[in-house]
Amino acid sequence: MKPLLILSLSGPVAAAAVLSCKEDKQVVKRPEGPLNVVYIMCDDHSYQTISAYDRRFMETPNIDRLAGEGARFTNSFVANSLSGPSRACMLTGKHSHKNGFTNNEHGVFDGSQQTLPKILRANGYQTAMVGKWHLVSDPTGFDYWDILTGQGDYYNPVFIRNGERVVREGYSTDITTQVAMDWLEEGRDKDKPFVLFLHYKAPHRSWMPDLQDLGMYDHVTFPLPETFYDDYATREAAARQEMSILADMNVVYDLKMADRENEIHTPDQPWLEDYGRDLYRRDLPEGELVPGRMTAAQQAAWDAYYDPLIERFKQDSLSGKALYEWKYQRYMRDYCSVIHSVDRNVGQVYDYLEAHGLLDNTVVIYTSDQGFFMGEHGYFDKRFMYEESFRTPLLVRMPGGKKVKAAKSRTRVYGADFDRRDNDIAEFVQNIDYAPTILDIAGIPVPEDIQGESFWPLLTGEKGGRKSLYYHYYEYPAEHSVRRHYGVRTERYSLMHFYNDIDEWELFDLKKDPLQLRNIYGEPGTGKLTASLRRELERLQALYDDPVSEKN
């Protein structure tokens, strides 16, 4: 479901953290004292809907401002494209098989293990966690935690505050921001350093906009992705998924067509329909507050917008290609409306830092727990090692808001079409790197068993980075039916192996085929390349100690 990492200095510490120019490089001197950290993460925020990366769909001025006042990472990826596992990777700095949380379906995070907040607390930090947790077990290592239950709800959500259930009226994104800022303002000891994790539910499925944002993209006709009508030729696993916008996106639950007459249906998805109707059509007496459901006043505003859309949908009686493209447009309009709220809240956090004199000594990092398909290959959701799912946004604001002049990189960007900027960092980074990066900036030694690598040196003008990335997805059989797979990503090539009830290798040349339409595995002339990539894959599996079992 979008982090913002804020590292701020105060008092005498700030004086030691100064920016200087040396040999035409911007250098950040490490301060003598501790840094404060605020880490804000969205759920399922695609890089395609951040205008710092892609201007086809929408504008995100507050998020973009972070990149304009620091750096934009153009080769940022995850280790396992799924919400809970991604969060576990961030907290531990380790791949899923090492931290033990491999999938949402059966996973329970082991809170007794070493984690980033525990290391920070052991070094004198206050720690707080606000918003979406999604790791089943209670948070550990935090002085204060105030988390959404499960996936969380968009309206009037239930929070668990240090073990106590609390229902808060309003819109989830706004509430999460306010709870976090309340803790910053009143809940912490301002004489001590702190780390605040601020995690938004948005823009997770089913993309319910804030009432003030309903309809704001109805005038936009979004361009269809080039791969929207992908036929999945040469890619068996791609064809066997169940996250097609046409076949699997539920008209009632996902697209809000919950008519009072119960005449609108999506075949073979009755449980989703029932949940959607309960979510969008629960009539309540005025003033009554039911956890996770809209109040009567909220419902009235919701119905005033969606009822005409529902009637029009019934009248049009769409099918085939027309229905497929209508579903895409409806999906994009809701999704982008939800992102608009996220961007507005990022602006509020920025304004808070500015009002409290923190912008000159604050580092801000914005990312998501994974990427997301915005109709590419006809998909929604994530999970695959394909670029739109595997790649995640990562924007960094530096102290004083000065653009980073990064060391010249030899790594090129394949698999995504980004304009080039002088403050781009193209080296490979991954979400297992957040824990060691925060520890590195704070001047805390990184434990040897952490598998990630700090990317702070890349921001201070030093060279570095990996030559390849390792990926492993586990959640099958489960929702969306994406088969288990692992793989290696180098600068130019992506090799993945789907296993368990399937045995298929896929190989893509991202320079020649950035859209990943042609699987060249086994084609004449690819033998040496394949052997080299498989050796690199085996090297990474040995490095990260991943004993892959292809039968489990």
Residue 549, domain member (yes or no): no
Dump the DSSP string for 331-396.
Answer: HHHHHHHHHHHHHHHHHHHHHHHHHTT-GGGEEEEEEESS---SSGGGB-S--SSSHHHHB--EEE
* Sequential pLDDT tens for the chain (552 residues): 334 444 443 333 333 333 333 333 444 454 445 677 778 899 999 999 999 999 999 999 999 999 999 999 999 999 999 999 999 999 999 999 999 999 999 999 999 999 999 999 999 988 989 999 999 999 999 999 999 999 999 999 999 999 999 999 999 999 999 999 999 899 989 888 888 888 999 999 999 999 999 999 999 999 999 999 999 999 999 999 999 999 999 999 999 999 999 999 988 889 999 999 999 988 888 989 999 999 999 999 999 999 999 999 999 999 999 999 999 999 999 999 999 999 999 999 999 988 987 777 777 889 899 999 999 999 999 999 999 999 999 998 887 888 998 888 889 999 999 999 999 999 999 999 999 998 887 888 999 999 999 998 998 889 888 999 999 999 999 999 999 999 999 999 999 999 999 999 999 999 999 999 999 999 999 999 999 999 999 999 999 999 887 655
- Helix/strand/coil for 455: coil
DSSP character at residue 522: T
Q: What is the pLDDT of residue 37?
A: 77
Domain end residue (candidates: 329, 361, 389): 329
Alpha-carbon gap, residue 74 to 56, rounded angstroms: 17
Q: How many CB atoms lie within 10 A of CB 129?
A: 25
Residue 302, domain member (yes or no): yes
Residue 456, domain member (yes or no): yes
Tell whether 315 and 266 lie within a shared domain. yes
In which element (H, E) is residue 280 found? helix 270-280
Tell whether 137 and 187 lie within a shared domain. yes
Tell whether 197 and 288 lie within a shared domain. no
Q: Is 389 within 8 Å of 370 (Cβ atoms)?
A: yes
- Helix/strand/coil for 27: strand
Residue 232, domain member (yes or no): no
Tell whether 435 and 500 lie within a shared domain. no
Q: What is the pLDDT of residue 551?
A: 52
Tell whether 47 and 188 lie within a shared domain. yes
- Helix/strand/coil for 194: strand
Range(s) of the domain holding residue 388: 4-207+336-464
Tell whether 290 and 409 lie within a shared domain. no
Tell whether 154 and 36 lie within a shared domain. yes
Domain end residue (candidates: 464, 482, 514): 464
Residue 551, domain member (yes or no): no
Q: What is the pLDDT of residue 24?
A: 38
Alpha-carbon gap, residue 365 to 206, rounded angstroms: 26
Q: What is the pLDDT of residue 28?
A: 47
pTM of the model: 0.94
**CATH, residue 519:** 3.30.1120.10
Tell whether 44 and 108 lie within a shared domain. yes
Tell whether 352 and 284 lie within a shared domain. no
Q: Is 492 within 8 Å of 482 (Cβ atoms)?
A: no
Q: What is the pLDDT of residue 54?
A: 97
**CATH, residue 174:** 3.40.720.10
Residue 142, domain member (yes or no): yes
Tell whether 25 and 138 lie within a shared domain. yes
Residue 215, domain member (yes or no): no
Helices (H), 144-193: 172-182
Q: How many structural domains are present in the chain?
A: 3
Residue 220, domain member (yes or no): no
Tell whether 284 and 159 lie within a shared domain. no
